[in-house]
Amino acid sequence: MKYTGRITGLIIMLIAIVAVRVYAYIYLDYSFSHLPIPGVIGLCIAFWAGKQYDKVKFYSEKDSLTGFYNRRFVDTLFPSLLAQMDRRNEKLSVAILDCDRFKDINDRYGHKKGDLVLQELSALLFTSIRKSDIVARWGGDEFLIIAPYADEEDIKVIISRFKNKLQELSQNIQIDISVSSGYAIYPSDAKTLDDLINIADSRMYGYKNTARYC
């Protein structure tokens, strides 16, 4: 969680305290040696108000279960990412990851265990992406990776790195975990977020169905 609200609130309050004390010193003969009790109270209020703002801002952009970004944040950010890719003539990759048989996990082990699986998958995914990548929880058990400056080979490496860690996760939580994935590349595959996701989704279900019948 960022501290923007708290920092901004404290700075504004400090400026106000200094301005009031300077005014009181010049025009009201008020000594700087007096303890600024109202100012201290004001700082506490400003910190509290800033903390509430930071919480609201955090939960408006993040999924509370996984800590990843939500759809609202992605929809807001994505146009600026595409504009950046266009200016630099670069590619951007979008990948969809879906936890296989997640409904069965919920039915067999309960929703608390299902939530744990999603949290563990999120932690694992976070260690598999690059610093420049953005991950969002896209649906119940679906995750979206947005990888700027990444072509087809780059996104394959990211996905493979994640999937290679799933066996260890399965052993740790004693549940067989596997993930299906699909990806699309901007601008060669599509030029809008919806179209990129539709292509990635279609590829993911194609791979999933192929694996099911092999």
Determine whether 141 is an active site residue.
yes
Per-residue pLDDT at 55: 56
Q: What is the pLDDT of residue 18?
A: 75
Grouping H, G, I as helix, E, B as strand and the rest as coil, residue 125 is helix
Hey, is 12 helix, strand or coil?
helix
- Token pair for residue 161? 């790195």
Angle between helices 4-27 and 37-61 (to 10 degrees): 160
Catalytic residue among 54, 98, 133, 141: 141
Least confident of 38-47, 88-97, 116-125: 38-47
Instruction: Using DSSP bridges, classify how beta strands 92-99 and 134-137 pair: parallel, antiparallel or unpaired.
Output: unpaired
Q: How confident is the model at residue 212 (pLDDT cuts 50, 70, 90)?
A: low
- Residue-level pLDDT at 196: 97
Distance CA 182, CA 114 (A): 22
pLDDT of residue 214: 43
Beta strands in 24-141 (DSSP E): 92-99, 134-137
| Lookup result for tokens 């087809």 | 152
Which tens digit of pLDDT belongs to each residue from 8-28? 766 776 787 777 777 666 767
pTM (2 decimals)? 0.74
